[in-house]
Amino acid sequence: MQRTVQRDISISGTGLHGGKPVRLVIRPAQPDAGLRFYRSDLDSFIDVSPANWVEASLCTLLRNEDGHEVRTIEHLMAALHGCGVHNALIEMDGPEVPILDGSAAPFVRRILETGLAETDAPLHVLRVLREVTVRRGDARATLRPAEDFRMSFDIAFDDPAIGRQSASMGLHNGTFLRELSDCRTFCMRADVEMMQANGLALGGTLDNAVVFHQGEVLTPGGLRRRDEPVRHKMLDAMGDLYVLGRPLLAHYEGVRAGHAVTGLLLRALLSDPRNYRVERCAPHLQARLPGVGTSLRDLPLSA
């Protein structure tokens, strides 16, 4: 059974890197259409696929053969993944997905408020058959075989307000909505100042990121969760893994991993056909995938 949105969902806002506001519309798509971006300002389609993934600073970026891009897609992709949306056309009149509050929750809310349409078309998933690992410096990401989709993550930062954090969970049903969807992107104040001095993250504010400085949380209202940073890393990975364009049966493990390492992991996974199999998803497995049985009641009050 495949799912798409019932009708158009329109969202506008400024991207993390600043610039003029972008209008984004999530449109219904036919079964087996998959996920696809359409840059209306360029009349250009960009498929959600590891073949179009390009390593970038601070975000997840897709680029087609014509050199046209969409960037900072990770929170939207996490929302689509977590809500179990398999087919959609995402139209944008600019290059960057709106950052909104820095989490996936605003996208999730709009998707669930609009509703989802189900079809009888069979769903195909990618099953990981053997362990695949990539490393870069002290960062590591691994995919292992599993009968559902689950995730473990470890981070370590010098700032005492973060320190070492770990989390592990199965992402079946509404777990993503309840446990991860409202967790916001985070950074150090010194990093923000350096990036903005170099023309980066010009759209970043205390309204769309958790900013830390010398053991303090500068963002008004503080943290939404005690371990919000590691949970946001899991949210990012949830979006980055959906660049596959289909659900995944695997256990993902990230250690200090970011967008680049997870993107490289997908490339490594697909580089050898012995690593995976695309198969028709049996009903008992589909019932354990993200998005099944979700509702607005699963969203945290902070979302």
Q: Which residues are catalytic?
A: 259
- Is residue 141 within 8 A of residue 253, CB to CB? The reply is yes
CB count within 10 Å of CB 205 equals 15
From residue 172, give the alpha-carbon distance in Å to each of 24, 86, 169: 28, 15, 9
The closest alpha carbon to 42, from 58, 65, 16, 60, belongs to 65
Angstrom distance (rounded) from CA 21 to CA 148: 38
Distance (Å, rounded) from C-alpha 249 to C-alpha 276? 10
Place of tokens 């049966």: 249
The residue ranges of DSSP E strands in 16-156, in sequence order, are: 18-27, 35-39, 44-47, 53-54, 61-63, 69-71, 88-92, 116-119, 124-128, 132-136, 139-144, 149-156
